[in-house]
C-alpha cells in the first residue's frame, strides 16, 4: 500500500541533504585557466568568482583582445569544472537520479 507520509519524509530528508550539499559546495573551489595558465580564475561550488590572476607579462603585452579572450576562456573552464563538481556530488546524494532545476 502506498504511504504518502513515508514519501513525504523521504522528500524532506533529500531536501535537507541537498541543502547541506549546497553549503558544502560553497566552501569548495575550482580553478580555471587559459593561455598556459597566464590567466587563472577561482570559483566556488556556488558559481561565485573569488579571484582572478593575470600574469604580468600578459598585462604588459597590451594585447587587449588576447587578454579578453583568455579571461573568457578561463572563466568558462572554471564554470565547466564547477558543473562537473556539482553534478558528481549531487549524484552521490540523489543516487544518480537527476532532479529538475539542479545541475
Parse the chain into domains and list their residue ranges: 4-94
Residue 103 near residue 45, CB atoms below 8 Å: no
Residue 41: other Cβ atoms inside 10 A: 23
**pLDDT value at residue 98:** 65
Candidate CATH numbers 3.30.1440.10, 3.30.1310.10, 3.40.30.10, 2.40.50.140; the one for domain 4-94:
3.30.1310.10
For residue 88, give the 3-state DSSP assignment.
helix
> How far, CA to CA in Å, does 27 sit from each of 34, 40, 69, 99?
24, 19, 28, 22
Give residue-wise pLDDT tens across range 29-70: 999 999 999 999 999 999 999 999 999 999 999 999 999 999
Q: Crossing angle of helices 4-26/64-94, nearest 10°?
A: 150
Residue 48: other Cβ atoms inside 10 A: 11
Amino acid at each position: 500500500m502506498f504511504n504518502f507520509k513515508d514519501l513525504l519524509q523521504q522528500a524532506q530528508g533529500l531536501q535537507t541533504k541537498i541543502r547541506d550539499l549546497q553549503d558544502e559546495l560553497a566552501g569548495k573551489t575550482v580553478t580555471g585557466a587559459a593561455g598556459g595558465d597566464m590567466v587563472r580564475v577561482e570559483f566556488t561550488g556556488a558559481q561565485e568568482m573569488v579571484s582572478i590572476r593575470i600574469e604580468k607579462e600578459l598585462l604588459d603585452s597590451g594585447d587587449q583582445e588576447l587578454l579578453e579572450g583568455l579571461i573568457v576562456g578561463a572563466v568558462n573552464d572554471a564554470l565547466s569544472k564547477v558543473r562537473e563538481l556539482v553534478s558528481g556530488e549531487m549524484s552521490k546524494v540523489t543516487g544518480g537520479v537527476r532532479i529538475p532545476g539542479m545541475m
